[in-house]
Amino acid sequence: MALELVTLRCLKDNYAYLLHGDVGTVLIDAPEAMPILTELEARGWTLDAILLTHHHNDHIDGVAEIVAATGAKVIGNGADASRLPPLDQAIHAGQTITILGEPVDVIDVSGHTIGHVAFYFPESGYAFTADSLMAIGCGRLFEGDAEMMWESLSRLNALPGETLICSGHDYCAGNGAFALSVDLDNDALRDRLEAVQQSKIPCAPATLAVERATNPFLRVAALRDHLGMPISTDAEVFKRLREMKDAF
pLDDT tens by residue, 210-247: 999 999 999 999 999 999 999 999 999 999 999 999 99
Q: CB–CB of 45/57 below 8 Å?
A: no
Mean pLDDT of the chain: 96
Out of 53-62, 79-88, 97-106, 195-204, pick the least confident: 195-204
pLDDT at 202 over 90: no
- What residues does each domain of the chain span? 4-247
Out of 24-33, 59-68, 154-163, 170-179, pick the least confident: 170-179
Reported confidence tier of residue 131, pLDDT bands at 50, 70, 90:
very high
Whether 20 has a binding-site annotation, put simply, is no
Pairing verdict, β 73-77 and 47-51: parallel
Evaluated on CA atoms 27, 29, 33, 34, the torsion sign reads: negative
Whether 59 has a binding-site annotation, put simply, is yes
Mean pLDDT of the 128-152 span: 97
Reported confidence tier of residue 199, pLDDT bands at 50, 70, 90:
confident
Residue 18's pLDDT is 98
What single string gives the DSSP state of each residue in the chain?
A: -PPEEEEEEETTTEEEEEEEETTEEEEE--S-SHHHHHHHHHHTPPEEEEE-----HHHHTTHHHHHHHH--EEEEEGGGGGGSSPPSEEE-TT-EEEETTEEEEEEE-TTSSTT-EEEEETTTTEEEEETSEETTEE---SSS-HHHHHHHHHHHHTS-TT-EEEESB--HHHHHHHHHHH-TT-HHHHHHHHHHHTTSS-SSSEEHHHHHHH-GGG-HHHHTTTTT-TT--HHHHHHHHHHHHHH-
Whether 105 has a binding-site annotation, put simply, is no
pLDDT at 1 over 90: no
Whether 48 has a binding-site annotation, put simply, is no
Whether 169 has a binding-site annotation, put simply, is yes
Residue 24's pLDDT is 97
Question: For the segment 163-177, what is each residue's pLDDT rounded down to a tens digit?
Answer: 999 999 999 989 999
Encode burial over 208-225: b for 16+ CB neighbours within 10 A, e otherwise: bebbebbbbbbbbeebbe
φ, ψ for residue 48 (rounded to 5)? Answer: -100, -35
Mean pLDDT of the 187-211 span: 91
Edge-first strand order for the sheet with 117-121 is 96-99, 102-108, 117-121, 126-130, 164-167, 206-207
Furthest-apart CA atoms within the chain: distance in Å: 56
Reported confidence tier of residue 201, pLDDT bands at 50, 70, 90:
confident
Question: What pTM does this model have?
Answer: 0.96
Whether 112 has a binding-site annotation, put simply, is yes
The fourth-level CATH superfamily of domain 4-247 is Ribonuclease Z/Hydroxyacylglutathione hydrolase-like (3.60.15.10)
Whether 55 has a binding-site annotation, put simply, is no
In the chain, the percentage of residues whose pLDDT exceeds 90 is 95
Rounded Cα gap, residues 72 and 225, in angstroms:
50
